[in-house]
Amino acid sequence: MKLYVGITDTNWFRYLRSSNADEMNFWRPKATNQFKALEPGELFLFKSKYPHHRIVGGAFFVRHTTLSLDLAWKAFASANGTDSMEKFRRMIQGHRKDNEFNPIIGCTILTQPFYLEDDETIDPPSDWSGNIVTGKSYEIAPGSEGLRLFEQAQAVFSASYPRNSTDKPYEPIDRFGKPQLVAPRLGQGGFRILVMDAYSRKCAITGEKTLPVLEAAHIKPYSEDGPHEVSNGIFMRSDLHTLFDGGYLTLTREFNIEVSKRIREEFSNGREYYALHGRKLVTLPENPSSRPNLSHLEWHQNNRFLG
């Protein structure tokens, strides 16, 4: 298992620390399609730049993807490290040295962060080179710098983790000396991105690919204890999302679309939507475990669908 030490902008980190963000987009100003340094659930540590040169916090890796600037803001808002999209745009343009209004950027999605105060920081890796531009991965092995960093981060995280929580950020190091991480708990932004990519960035109902009009819908709402999990999400066009949340549209256990008669009764319209009635979803995740959870679908049919 590995961890990654990433060079971190001080203003980005301090803003997220001050707002106590529970997830973040560790963005890069230009599109980077791959980030192979970590697997989901492994530890990403934030290292401040010289001359401070300290480990100042960390979080758990969820996924790396690319998004246009406006969609990154839509997904993460202030979890991008600033309080407005215009400031975010200026930050990106400043790094890119261009005036591209809506560039494609790299997005490394992190969750369950911990933040160290200035007097609590951790020594950086002893072999760190000043030539490193973005970051470096470390194996967590006996006697290694990776294990030292992991153990120190674990102690800090465990001390700061809510005492009344039944969740654990990771299991203790077992008797064989191998750290065992659990699946990272998603926030709203991470949920949106994982659902989007699970559905190949296409509307599950129509196959539409125009991302600005597509959204990740919860089957069972988060406010009703529905989890931020891919199996509780469907990627769909924004108007269909609205109808789904309002109970005018649902899905059967066989992933067939059902449209409520109430659209016609209440709005004297709906021809486009009734044309979808009885059809199967045109897009589903390749991984069966990411497909709509049947118990969540039943909940939606019984508690939201207007019939």
Domain limits, the chain = 2-181, 188-303
pTM of the model: 0.88
Cis peptide bond N-terminal to 51, omega within 30: yes
pLDDT value at 72 more than 70: yes
Q: Which of the four pLDDT bands, split at 50, 70 and 90, describes residue 178?
A: very low
Fill in the DSSP letter of residue 219. S
DSSP alpha helix (H) spans, 20-117: 69-76, 85-96
Please tell me the distance from the alpha carbon of residue 205 to that of residue 228, in angstroms, as a whole number: 21
Element (H, E) at 62: strand 55-68
pLDDT at 32: 77
Percentage, residues of the chain above pLDDT 70: 91
Q: Has domain 2-181 been given CATH number 2.30.130.30?
A: yes
Q: What is the mean pLDDT of the chain?
A: 90
Cβ contacts of residue 243 below 8 Å, gap of 6+?
A: 249, 263, 273
